[in-house]
Each structure stands twice: as C-alpha cells, then as structure tokens.
Chain A
Amino acid sequence: MLISWRRPLVFFLSLVSIMAQASDGKLIGTAGLNQIEGSGGGGIVPWATLAGYDSRDQVSVNAFTTQVDIDDYRLNVLGVSASFYDRVELSVAQHRFDLKTLGGEIKQNVYGVKYRLYGDVVYSTWPQLSLGIQHKELDDGSIAGAVGAADNSSGTDIYLAATKVHLGAIAGFNAVWSVTARATKANQLGLLGFGGVNNDSYQVMAEASAGVLFSRHVAVGVEYRQKPDNLGLGEDDWFDVFVTYIPSKNLSFTVAWAELGSIAGAKDQKGLYLSLNGQLW
C-alpha cells in the first residue's frame, strides 16, 4: 500500500514544486481545515474556502488525519488535498469505519473537487462562493446492502457553499460563518450506501458552521449538518462544538465534541472528534 503510493506522491510533489512557490498568502486561521470527507472546510461541513494557504499565484498541499470515536463506532479518516491558485481544490480521503460493538469495518474512498466561483473569504464584500462534488466509492457494499441501501457501491454529492470572515466583528474578534446546500443520496456519509426504501432520489440538505477566532491561533465554533433518512433507520442530523489550535500556517489541531444521533439503529451516538491538519507545501 505504502510503496504503491510513494511514486505517484513524489511525482505529484515535484510537479507542485515546479509549478509554484510554497504558499503562505492568506491570513493565519482563515484557511480552515479539511473536513471529514477531505474537502476544505470545518469539521463536518465543507466550506467555500479551499484547504491551504495558497493565493492566486500559489499552490498548496495539505494532509490530515481525523478520528471520530463515538459509543458504538469509530471513524478513522486519512486524506490529502491540493489547492491550485486559490481556485481549484482536489482531495482524496479514505474512511475506515470501525464497528466497535458489532465487529467489522466499512471502508470508503471519497474523491473531491471544489471550484471557487466568487470572492475572497476575508476581503470581498459578499461571501466567498464555491461549488463542489464529493464522489464516494464503497470498498465493500455488503453492509450497505444488508441495511437496505438502493445502491451499495458509489454515489456523488454536489454542494454549494458560502463562507465569510468578518474582521473584528464580535467584540473585536474575527468571526467566521459558512452555509452549505448539499444535494445527496448518501446514508451516513455513504458508509451505509446511497438511497433506500424510504427515499431514493437526491435531496438538498442544509449545513452550517459558525466560529470565533479568539486570537490568531485559537478558533472556537459550532457546526450543524442535516441528514436524509433514506433507509428508514432514523438517521439524525449531526452537531459538533469545536476548538482549533493553529500554532502556524503549517499545522492545526482540532478537538470537537460530536453528537451524531442514531447510526444504523444504535441510538444517541456521541464522542470525541480529533483532527490533525498539516500543510506540506
């Protein structure tokens, strides 16, 4: 696995190094994180911002790892993203969903593309706007099939996000908010397949984040993600409260408390979300 990744990665990084200088062209703390599906964002919500500190003449590469450890499950995420000229973001993330009480594991890869349509999150009058897709491929669809997913192999989400940083807005602290509309058929991110007996068509879900930067290095905020209930298993909306520490433009740590509701019949799933995010280039 590692060896097969190494050559394309080296090639990719050398390509990036030829194309642009290392990126530091945004205010610290305004680049955001890689969210759970790998796109630039908050923790569970994709934002209009692109991951990384690249500006119009720079390229950036980020890597991240996230773990969400809830009562009956544990989600491990590994991913990389590259942002080109603060315009296009490509991302890959791997989900490993550990069924702690039932035993077993569900694996899925998420491939993301995001295109910035308008604006700059800090400097433009109106919010930054981006359009993105997340294509999800399940490694083994047997569990998705067993819970009644209409499609147990792959699905694609499409989202439109608006994000704005207001300088000095809250007692002088910088504030950030983001809202996202996502058209999706995914059950629990796609880990339980796509569509189901209740519903098998695209539905538009609302997602939102709001946060305050208490210094150039600490952000605190909340997030919400609406979810469809295609399987009829009572899939709930998601919430989290997060604290992010950003020691430099190259590194950030996030700790969050996540309440994910009912997952595949197991009720009231909640626990810690931990994420480490690094800018490699």
Chain B
Amino acid sequence: MKNLILIFLTCFFLTACASKNLSTYQQLGGQPKVEEIVDNFITEIEYDPVMFEFFKDSDINRFREKLIEHLCFLTGGPCDYTGDSMEQVHGGMNISESTFNHGVDLFISAMTKADIPHPVQNKILATMIHTRDQMIYR
C-alpha cells in the first residue's frame, strides 16, 4: 500500500512538471476551432436567461471578434488582443462569483460541443483563469 502511494505520488509530480512542446492553441486545433468554440459559446449565452441579461445590449459581432482574438492570444496562437481590458469590459456589471462560474460551465459546454478533448479543455481553462479577478464584482 505504501509503495503504491509512493508510485502514484511520483507519477503525480513527475508528469505535473513535464514540459509540453505544442502550444495549447495548436493542440485545440487552431483558428477554426477557436471560432467554433466562440460561436458555440454565443449560442449557449443566447439560450441562457441569466447570461443573456448581461449581453442584451452588446454588439455581438464585436464580442465574437474580440473573444476569438483573446482566446487565440491566451492559448499561445499568432494573434494580438486589440480589445478593451477585462476590467473595462466588465466594469459596472457587478458579475458575481456564481454567475462567473456559470459562465465557465457554459464555456465548457461550448468546448465539448466543438469536440475539444477533456485534457485540452483543461489546458484552455488554465490559460484563462487569471482573468477571473479582472471580471468579478466590478
């Protein structure tokens, strides 16, 4: 039993530190997949009464264009993000922690519908989580 646990922990930390060669952007399938995820996310928002409330006065075409840029940039793709800062975009919305997490659930659903494998989904989320503090309770 103790040996089993040692083996588990060794694998746990070795793989946790292992380096990766491909960018997350390449692993997820590049620009077509980034666009597919964002389009799916917009559809998820349209059918979600809680989230739609935050978007009803938004320019969805601009949102789509800037989110595609941002996702490409965050995952290590060949893009620059030219939109406003996350603080500016979400200022005055007072997004709660639960609404934010609900948005993450919808984003996961958008990735699943774009056939993004589970491990790649996690890597995409890992590139995005630092934006949370710039988005909630603003």
Which residues does A use to contact B, with CB under 8 Å? 21, 23-28, 55-58, 86, 122-123, 166-175, 177, 210, 212, 215-216, 221-222, 224, 239, 241, 259
CB distance from A85 to the nearest CB of B (A): 10
CB distance from A217 to the nearest CB of B (A): 10
4 shortest interchain CB distances as A-B pairs = A172-B119, A25-B98, A168-B122, A168-B123
B101 within 8 Å of A by Cβ? yes
Chain B residue numbers with a CB within 8 Å of A86 are: 97
B128 to chain A: closest residue by CB: A167
CB distance B101 to A168 under 8 Å?
Answer: no
14 chain-A/chain-B pairs, Cβ below 8 angstroms: A24-B101, A25-B98, A27-B101, A55-B101, A86-B97, A122-B129, A167-B122, A167-B129, A168-B122, A168-B124, A222-B5, A224-B5, A239-B2, A241-B1
CB distance B16 to A175 under 8 Å?
Answer: yes
B132 to chain A: closest residue by CB: A123
Highest count of chain B CB atoms <10 Å: which of A169, A172, A239: A172
Chain B residue numbers with a CB within 8 Å of A239 are: 1-2, 5
CB distance B118 to A56 under 8 Å?
Answer: no
B119 to chain A: closest residue by CB: A172
Say which size band chain B's interface belongs to: 20 to 34
CB distance from A278 to the nearest CB of B (A): 20
Chain B residue numbers with a CB within 8 Å of A174 are: 122
| Cα separation A222 to B1 with both chains bound (whole Å) | 10
Chain B residue numbers with a CB within 8 Å of A173 are: 118-119, 122
Known: A55-B96, A241-B1. 9 other contacts (CB 8 A): A24-B102, A25-B102, A27-B101, A28-B105, A171-B15, A172-B120, A174-B122, A239-B2, A259-B1
Interface SS majority for chain B: helix
Chain A residue numbers with a CB within 8 Å of B120 are: 172
| Cα separation A212 to B9 with both chains bound (whole Å) | 11
For chain B, residues 94 to 138, give those with C-beta under 8 angstroms from any C-beta of chain A: 96-98, 101-102, 104-105, 108, 117-120, 122-126, 129, 132-133
Question: Contact partner of A167 among B9, B97, B101, B123, CB < 8 A?
Answer: B123
B8 within 8 Å of A by Cβ? yes
B5 to chain A: closest residue by CB: A222
| Cα separation A173 to B4 with both chains bound (whole Å) | 20
CB distance from A111 to the nearest CB of B (A): 28
Chain B 1-44 interface 0/1 with A at a Cβ cutoff of 8 Å (1 = within): 11011001100100110100000000000000000000000000
CB distance A170 to B15 under 8 Å?
Answer: yes
CB distance A172 to B96 under 8 Å?
Answer: no
CB distance from B6 to the nearest CB of A (A): 9
| Cα separation A23 to B99 with both chains bound (whole Å) | 11
| Cα separation A146 to B81 with both chains bound (whole Å) | 71
CB distance B96 to A56 under 8 Å?
Answer: yes
Highest count of chain B CB atoms <10 Å: which of A55, A210, A239: A55
Chain B residue numbers with a CB within 8 Å of A241 are: 1, 4-5, 8
| Cα separation A210 to B7 with both chains bound (whole Å) | 12
B117 to chain A: closest residue by CB: A172
